Amino acid sequence: MKDMNDIPTLFGSKVFNEITMKARMPQEIYRSLKQTITTGKPLDINIANVVATAMKDWAVENGATHFTHWFQPMTSMTAEKHDSFITPIGGGSIIMEFSGKELVKGEPDASSFPSGGIRATFEARGYTAWDPTSYAFIKDRTLCIPTAFCSYSGEALDQKTPLLRSMEAIDIQAKRILALFGNTEVQRITTTVGAEQEYFLIDKDVYNRRPDLIYCGRTLFGARPPKGQELNDHYFGAIKPRVSAFMDDLDKELWKLGVLAKTEHNEAAPAQHELAPIFTTTNIAVDNNQLIMELMKTIAAKHDLICLLHEKPFAGVNGSGKHNNWAISTEDGLNLLEPGKTPSQNAQFILFLCAVIKAVDEHQDLLRISAASAGNDHRLGANEAPPAIISIFLGDELYDILMDIEQGNVHTDKQKTGMEIGTAVLPAIPRDTTDRNRTSPFAFTGNKFEFRMLGSSISIAMANVVLNTAVAESLRQFADALEGSEDFTGDLNRLVVSVITAHKRILFNGDGYSDEWVAEAEKRGLLNLKTTVDAAPYFISDKNIELFTRHGVFTENEIYSRYEILLENYCKTIHIEALTMIDMVKKSVIPAAIRYQKDIAETAASKMAVSPDLSIELEKSLLENISNLNLQISENIQILEKHIINVKELTDNLETAKYYREKIFLAMVNLRCAVDELETMVGSQYWEFPTYSEILYSVK
């Protein structure tokens, strides 16, 4: 049981947060640091020295012996290189030391992280720079300093750098809009994010007997279990004791790190669960999501469990995703996506709403790319996750309001006022009716947007880079059009109407899983980028290069590098899967079938020896079926092996990725079909791998 009294003390106890900083640093140092945090100005080295010492003292008192620059390279993980605080002072003695220089800048070898070509053209060295907007924390006796990671020529090699740049971009543009509505006081506008994280928990022993889970994070074979999720009895069902103990531990460790873990419950599939934190500033939410994923894995291991973060660990069973809840807020916590009560608030809300609608419509491709990975391709469009087509669900109320504004209609049901938006009062938008459409990839849920396409294992950074930058671009265009206007209400109205007319094709309240929607979306000219390979080329289009470079979020070089990395990761993932598959089939599946056949043949022979009148029809038919399937399996293996040799001839990443998708992935699907059928025929003592039932119900 959780000791509820303990939690307020526990919360943030391993974080060098505001309260700790204030308590442990001279007032003027704290004030300069605070200034750096709010304005983003560089930190003076003398101040950094004092901050570093205060940080180190606090960390050592709390059991830390090492420090690390904690950063997020362009994998889905975080990276750390540990150094101890130990500094020799002669005579065999040491002191624990940590300098401002070490706090502010680190120099990890960049060559072991993906750079998408940046490394080839520039230096192998990279450096990490402290992001003072994200607090330092202690994990495993190590003081972790959240940092950005760049090449020596200043190119971003990580997820955080472009994210911070995109937050800058939206801050600048949103302030211009607020100024138009008379708010010139606001200091800083940030976006906020709450990311709901889905995951599977399975027993360590079954995991260790599945090389596919070990090497690929997903099962490459597995016949459907007799009891799947059809009964829906798992969803919000009672949490099993082992899972509950894990969740208790996870919550506690997250709270110590200041992560606002709030709700934990079972999800739709057996063995699937979800954790939702309370939202916070986007860059902190991104850091926190990385910590959540990391702690889920390490804490599961302590409970002899394995946490699977893969998007689709089991075919035919719901996969895992992440819901990225996103809003825009002033430093005082005023949510700009909250429909207001007075006309001017309404007008401002409608304008921000239009900014999001325009951004999502114009940059469907980038949003799709931000959710693209080999793992997530298994989910999107598979009637469990949103379709690969991006659309926005607004709910009927808000949709009707926009249509009335466009038509210049009086919004009759609710208010008798005209819908000129600078003057009208919007009807109250009931929150509970706005988030019921689970099939929508991008839904307005009362005062925030929920982007539901993300895969469970990937960083949420890129999705927020895209959202922040694309919305900043809409706001920039709006501000350009409205600043200096002589007739603000009239111009605002005309602008809003023109945006609705131009972008209403992206609005869709219906069933995103239906075939009619796929046809309708095509008619509307919306993109349907089914796979990573289909989506990737859009990354480097002129439109997207223009967007990112204009707002200083990515250089052209950085965009190309990310495009290459996306494709490289895709190819590597499928390559490893194909090799694992071949290995498992050759070493275990085919031999299992042969052993079984041998026993059947021996049974038939011994029957015949007893009496030639005994029927051996069953044995014959089993032998025939299994033998045919095994033949089919070895033929499929040969095809797969041939493709793996052929793909080596290709040099271009896009061509290679296409080959992986069109040839290798398909050959894997065919191979799997045959193996899954075989699994249902072969006696269980011959089959080495735990079945789907054994895995999915492995945690009691």
Q: Contact residues for Mg ion (CB under 5 A)?
A: 196, 323
278 is a contact residue toward ligand ADP (CB under 6 A): yes
Nearer to ligand ADP (CB atom), residue 97 or residue 264: 264
- What character string, x for contact with ligand ADP (CB under 6 A) and - otherwise, covers 432-451? ---x-----------xx---
Name the minimum Å distance from CB 328 to ligand ADP. Answer: 8
> Contacting ligand ADP (CB under 6 A), which of 247, 327, 466, 667?
327
The reply to whether 276 sits near ligand ADP by the rule CB under 6 A is yes
Of 131-190, binders to ligand ADP (CB under 6 A) are none
- Please report, as a single letter, which amino acid is at residue 573: T
CA dihedral over 515, 517, 523, 527, signed as positive or negative = negative
> Do the beta carbons of residue 439 and residue 534 sit within 8 Å?
no
Question: Minimum distance between the CB of residue 323 and Mg ion, rounded to whole angstroms?
Answer: 4
300 makes contact, choosing from ligand ADP, Mg ion, none, with CB < 5 to 8 Å by partner type, with none
Reduced 3-state DSSP string for 446-486: CCCEEEEEEECCCCCHHHHHHHHHHHHHHHHHHHHHHCCCC
**84, 183, 335, 603: which one binds ligand ADP (CB under 6 A):** 335
Q: Which residues neighbour 584 within 8 Å (Cβ) at sequence distance 6 or greater? A: 211, 212, 220, 221, 689
Residue 698 neighbours by CB under 8 Å, 6+ apart = 202, 203, 205, 206, 271, 690
For 538, residues 6+ apart whose C-beta sits below 8 A from its C-beta are: 365, 366, 368, 369, 527, 529, 544
The listed partner (ligand ADP, Mg ion, none) that binds 193, CB under 5 to 8 Å by sort, is ligand ADP
Compare residues 447 and 634 and give the one whose CB is closer to ligand ADP: 447
Please report how close the Cβ of residue 330 comes to ligand ADP at its closest, in angstroms: 12
**306/463 with CB nearer ligand ADP:** 463
Least distance (Å) between residue 129 CB and ligand ADP: 27
d(CA 660, CA 657): 5
Residue 196 vs 619, nearer CB to Mg ion: 196
Is 145 or 467 the residue whose CB approaches ligand ADP more closely?
A: 467
- Stretch of 275-283, 302-310, 587-595, 645-653 lying at the interface with ligand ADP (CB under 6 A): 275-283
Distance in angstroms (rounded) separating the CA atoms of residues 237 and 268? 10
Q: How far is the CB of 155 from ligand ADP (least distance, A)?
A: 30
Stretch that binds ligand ADP, among 220-228, 319-327, 416-424, 517-525 (CB under 6 A): 319-327
Closest CA relative to residue 409, chosen from 510, 497, 506, 499: 497
CB of 596 to ligand ADP, least distance (A): 48
- Orientation angle between helical segments 396-407 and 488-503, nearest 10 degrees: 120
CA angle 644, 650, 654 (to 5 degrees): 105
The binder of 630, among Mg ion, ligand ADP, none, by C-beta within 5 to 8 A per type, is none
CB of 310 to Mg ion, least distance (A): 20
Report the length, in residues, of the chain.
700
Residue the block writes with tokens 């560089």: 42
Residue 148, H or E segment? strand 142-151
429 lies in the site for ligand ADP, by CB under 6 A: no
Contact 365, 485 (CB under 8 A): no
**Binding residue for ligand ADP, selected from 288, 325, 493, 544, defined by CB under 6 A:** 325
- Say whether 90 sits in a helix, a strand or coil: strand
- Choose the one of ligand ADP, Mg ion, none that binds residue 335, judging by a C-beta under 5 to 8 angstroms depending on kind: ligand ADP
Query: Could you tell me the smallest distance in angstroms from the CB atom of residue 446 to Mg ion?
Result: 12
User: Contact with ligand ADP (CB under 6 A): which of 116, 222, 258, 277?
Assistant: 277
**DSSP secondary structure, 201-265, as one string:** EEEHHHHHT-HHHHHHSS-S--PPPSS-STT--STT-PPPHHHHHHHHHHHHHHHHTT--EEEEE
Window contacting ligand ADP (CB under 6 A); options: 53-61, 231-239, 323-331, 509-517 = 323-331
Q: At closest approach, how far in Å is the CB of 682 from ligand ADP?
A: 43
The torsion defined by the Cα of 374, 379, 381 and 383, in degrees rounded to 10, comes to 170
What is the closest distance, in whole angstroms, from the C-beta atom of residue 438 to Mg ion in the complex?
A: 8
Question: Choosing among ligand ADP, Mg ion, none, which partner's interface includes residue 278 (Cβ < 5 to 8 Å by kind)?
Answer: ligand ADP
Rounded to a whole number of angstroms, the minimum distance from the CB of residue 46 to Mg ion is: 46
Amino acid letter, 128 = T
Q: Which is nearer to ligand ADP, 18 or 435 (CB)?
A: 435
Among 85, 279, 548, 554, binds ligand ADP (CB under 6 A): 279
User: How far is Cα of residue 426 from the mean position of the Cα atoms in its chain?
Assistant: 34
Q: Which DSSP helix (H) or strand (E) runs through 83?
A: strand 82-84
- Sketch the per residue contact string, 183 through 212, with ligand ADP: x for CB under 6 A, - otherwise: ---------xxx-x----------------
Q: Which residue is nearest to ligand ADP (CB)?
A: 194
CA dihedral 632, 633, 638, 642 (to 10 degrees): 110
220 or 327: whose CB is closer to ligand ADP? 327
CB of 340 to ligand ADP, least distance (A): 14
Other beta carbons within 10 angstroms of residue 609's beta carbon come to: 9
CB 200 within 8 A of CB 269: yes
Which residue ranges make up the site for ligand ADP (CB under 6 A)? 192-194, 196, 276-279, 323, 325-327, 335, 435, 447-448
